[in-house]
Amino acid sequence: MISIDKNAFLNCFELLSVTIGDGVTSIGSKSFAACTKLTDVYCLAKAVPTTNSDAFSSYLVDRYTLHVPAALVESYKSTTPWSGFKDIVALDGEATKCAKPTIKVEDGILTFNCQTEGVTYVASYNFSNEGTKKGGSQLVLAGNTICHVSVYATKEGYLNSETATADVELNVCVKGDVDGDGKVNVADHVRLSDIILNRNK
């Protein structure tokens, strides 16, 4: 493990920029505290270094620009104290990778979200259920259907994200299927009659 010791650059008032090497894995307490003229930090580490929350002065960190490998931009944005930097950008010549999207189902509505703003989602869906019928260009879903969802995020000038997957349970009724069992039969007629006559279940 290669570390930057605590207080290593404490009170270096004339320090304008710093480059943290690719072998650094940890940064100690107050390593860059009170560096009042610091504007740019270049971190070449292959993974986000373990860092004390006070490695940079909290009252100065929002003035700094952090330059990191493109694949790690989103990781730095979600890790303190790095997340407090004014800007976190990919090193020159590198394209930033879109963050991996999340998949959410609420009230029957499927939505995707991504920490990278302005992305386009590319999704694919696979359904599996005995009540699912394919006919020509139509896909008829019936009963409790499992939908396997795969989605990745893309954006011009960015690398595509990793693919997120989820198995989503859907309850889709066939037209005329009043009781939701995936079939249309006498039981649906009885249930419909009960609803019309306001009978109890």
CATH classification of the domain holding 69:
3.80.10.10
Q: Assess contact for 29 and 6: CB atoms under 8 A.
A: yes
Do 119 and 53 share a structural domain? no
Final residue in a domain of this structure, among 90, 120, 135: 90
Q: Domains in the chain: how many in total?
A: 2
pLDDT tens digits along 86-144: 999 999 777 788 889 999 887 667 889 998 889 999 988 887 754 444 444 444 445 56
> Which domain range does residue 136 map to?
102-173
Cα-based angle 118, 72, 22 (whole degrees, multiple of 5): 155
Do 106 and 169 share a structural domain? yes
pLDDT tens digits along 143-187: 566 788 899 999 887 888 999 999 877 655 555 665 666 566 777
Is 95 part of a structural domain of the chain?
no
